[in-house]
Structure 1
């Protein structure tokens, strides 16, 4: 194993980085970008491999440095491409689609230039960020490396404000859960009489839980002034700083749509480590099934795997962020309810590995007119009746 890891040290990627840098300096932007993308992917895989198998820190650092160098070249190439494409459009030489009215054939399309509409959009945003704050891309990458962290594309977008929604635009990152999601969950899954909603937002989940007969405890990092049906005001607290409360020994079940982003994995792991309720239901991106680089993700999916994953075969209606006033878009995210159920005999979430995770496909339209299931008596717990076709996990 060590020989395989050591092989990365002599991979020759540094020479490819230098070649990409030279091409960029010579004005061959497309070729420079192509080489940089290849180095980025290989260095990223190498760093992850080295870290996973306990390679020397120098190898991890070198792989991440190469990844950062490639990312910087790729970003600079994108800025140049944005400038060149915009200049070509201004001259009438570039078209979004295949030109039909210019007979001399001097125009070119995005496809012919090797660019998608998304590529052009992202390149322009990156170019504009550099114009506003010169050097921001290089500084953002250097800061990640100095902190010993991976310089990834997603973190770069977040750092320079070129995400689809900036941090300022996202505000408190509140995306209200659609009722279709809750109606589906409460059509085949039951919980203890008291449920905790630790990311309650403005009450999209808690209202439906209460409609089904549950007592709901409310909290959120942000004070939205949300109240339960008894008029009790939510607590304003950071879930990841919470511990089981002495005045609440029963440990209520947890049902929530947790905040996505950098803290998601830690949020899920904290629920399992610190609170250990009888049942947890989290509405997550289906991608949560994947990944191995984050120890909290591995803890939640490998060491304490969910008992059930209910995958929506039809995408849920779009969850627009709070305060959104733009067009109503269709969702591009595949989501699922991830359920963790504590096995009382073993006091574990995986029943000593004997049961495994059950993957079930569900269509929320099936449950549009269903009756919501009420609380389950924890002392006489029974296996919930499933609807939908199960497939092997």
Structure 2
């Protein structure tokens, strides 16, 4: 995927002349532990196929393209303007690491094209760019991930200076953004190890507020919110919502 990391890019023509930066497949694998997508997925900035190949390994049918020709996928297909995407609107979910100089345009286009869900990798501080249509979830990596020039992960391992996050949009969802973590630390300090151990037993905190949470579930149910919407609002899973409602409705 073409990604302007070292310098800003003013146009798609200039971008074509830039170096190729690719996404560590591990970052995709960790996302797929958290999110499920429609069986058909579109990767419109596929580059050398690092995201596409990982999606395929997990059983997804992937349509891959790129503005540039790197020998992997359908080239010279501009996601922002190519009519191919208009002809196939609402057929695919979208997972990609887009060019950041057109991040807003890419998100807007994806929301128009996607069937249900959009996942894009951005530096975590890009959250402020999307207040006009907030993502429903943001998965923040706790450790920097590798973004490699020309796909050379051996040379560029641990050279990345940015903290990244997966931004998830669901079509039709407009509400608060939930921040979650993808814990990809290789090593942590003794202090953090101690904190992880101390706070690993969530029951002592959960039990304290469980009854209040049940009351909130009932309140939102009375307001005609769906179980899925209630779960997102309260950051609990939908099964828990159903079970609590069975107890009280």
Answer yes or no: same fold by TM over 0.5. Answer: yes
CA–CA distance in structure 1, aligned partners of residues 89 and 153 of structure 2: 43
Equivalent residue for 2:138, pick from 309, 315, 318: 309
Equivalent residue for 2:181, pick from 342, 361, 373: 361
Equivalent residue for 1:288, pick from 101, 122, 126: 126
Alignment RMSD:
3.0
CA contact (8 A) 1:284 1:336 kept: yes
Q: Report what 2:197 is aligned to.
A: none
CA–CA distance in structure 2, aligned partners of residues 325 and 210 of structure 1: 20
State the SS of the aligned residue for 1:284. Answer: strand
Q: Report what 1:199 is aligned to.
A: 45
Alignment of 1:305-344 (within 5 A): 305-317=134-146, 319-322=147-150, 328=156, 329-342=158-171
Distance 1:252 1:361, change over 3 A: same
Where is the strand percentage greater, Structure 1 or Structure 2? 2
Distance 1:204 1:325, change over 3 A: closer
Distance 1:339 1:326, change over 3 A: closer
Distance 1:173 1:270, change over 3 A: farther
Distance 1:158 1:182, change over 3 A: closer
Q: Report what 1:210 is aligned to.
A: 56
CA–CA distance in structure 1, aligned partners of residues 153 and 102 of structure 2: 27
Superposed displacement of residue 224, structure 1: 1.9
Superposed displacement of residue 331, structure 1: 1.9
State the SS of the aligned residue for 2:30. Answer: helix
Say which structure, 1 or 2, has more relative contact order (CA 8 Å, 6+ apart).
2
CA–CA distance in structure 1, aligned partners of residues 82 and 185 of structure 2: 36
Instruction: Tell whether 2:80 aligns with 1:240.
Output: yes
Equivalent residue for 1:252, pick from 89, 92, 96: 92
Alignment of 1:115-264 (within 5 A): 171-227=17-73, 234-243=74-83, 244-246=85-87, 248=88, 250-260=90-100, 262-264=101-103
Q: Report what 1:379 is aligned to.
A: none
CA contact (8 A) 1:173 1:259 kept: no
CA contact (8 A) 1:181 1:364 kept: no
Q: Report what 2:173 is aligned to.
A: 349
After the TM superposition, list the runs of 4 or more consecutive aligned residues in structure 1 that deviate by more than 6 angstroms. 323-326
CA–CA distance in structure 2, aligned partners of residues 360 and 283 of structure 1: 14
Superposed displacement of residue 256, structure 1: 0.3
Distance 1:250 1:271, change over 3 A: closer
CA contact (8 A) 1:172 1:222 kept: no
CA–CA distance in structure 2, aligned partners of residues 218 and 323 of structure 1: 17
Superposed displacement of residue 188, structure 1: 1.5
CA contact (8 A) 1:218 1:235 kept: no
Matched residue count: 178
Structure 2: 5+ residue stretches without partners: 1-6, 187-226, 229-234, 236-249
CA contact (8 A) 1:174 1:259 kept: no
CA contact (8 A) 2:21 2:151 kept: no
Larger radius of gyration: 1
Superposed displacement of residue 175, structure 1: 1.2
Where is the helix percentage greater, Structure 1 or Structure 2? 1
CA contact (8 A) 2:94 2:114 kept: no
Superposed displacement of residue 289, structure 1: 1.4
Instruction: Show CA shifts across 1:253-277 (max 9, x none).
Output: 00001112x22222222212x3143
TM-score of the two chains, using structure 1 as the length reference: 0.41
